[in-house]
Amino acid sequence: MTNFIGILHILAALILIVLVLIQDSKSDGALGIGGASGSNSLLGATGAQTLAGKMTVWAAIIFACTCLTLAVLTSSHTKSVVDGLPLPAAPVTQENPAAEASGVTQGQSATAPAATETTPAATAAPATK
């Protein structure tokens, strides 16, 4: 879908460029194609918009619609680049109400240190000969 609209957008842009270049200015057209003033008029020599003018308006409308459609289709759903970043890890704080009640400060641990713990291998009886 996006590829189709992109190709349509490029074609509308090229057609719009060509149509603007062949438009009549106050004197002659941009490419010097002028001739009689009524030769390229759609409804008559005076007061009516030329065929190239009407085609330019429609090409500009198509160009604007494809611009908006491509902008909507290709936009991301985040509002900011920062919204896509991962959240920072919050500092882990473990609150122990029993430790606070026993008077243990924040830097101390209420449990015994790991070095004083005994393991089954340390308490096993020594092997006899």
**Boundaries of every domain in the chain:** 2-33+49-74
Question: pTM of the prediction?
Answer: 0.47
- pLDDT confidence of residue 17: 95
Name the more confident of 122 and 19: 19
- Residue 86 pLDDT class (50, 70, 90 cuts): confident
Query: Does 106 have pLDDT greater than 80?
Result: no
Closest CA to 50 of 32, 79, 29, 71: 29
Region for residue 107 given its phi and psi (left: phi exceeds 0; alpha: psi -120 to 50; beta: otherwise): alpha
Closest CA to 23 of 31, 12, 14, 15: 31
Is the distance from CB of 50 to CB of 22 less than 8 angstroms? no
Query: Does 44 have pLDDT greater than 70?
Result: no
Dig out the tokens for 84 from the structure. 């896509």
For the four alpha carbons of 42, 46, 50 and 56, in that order, the dihedral sign comes to negative
In the chain, % of residues over pLDDT 90: 29
- pLDDT confidence of residue 83: 74
- Residue 74 pLDDT class (50, 70, 90 cuts): confident
Q: Return d(Cα 93, Cα 11) in angstroms, integer.
A: 61
Closest CA to 55 of 40, 66, 69: 40
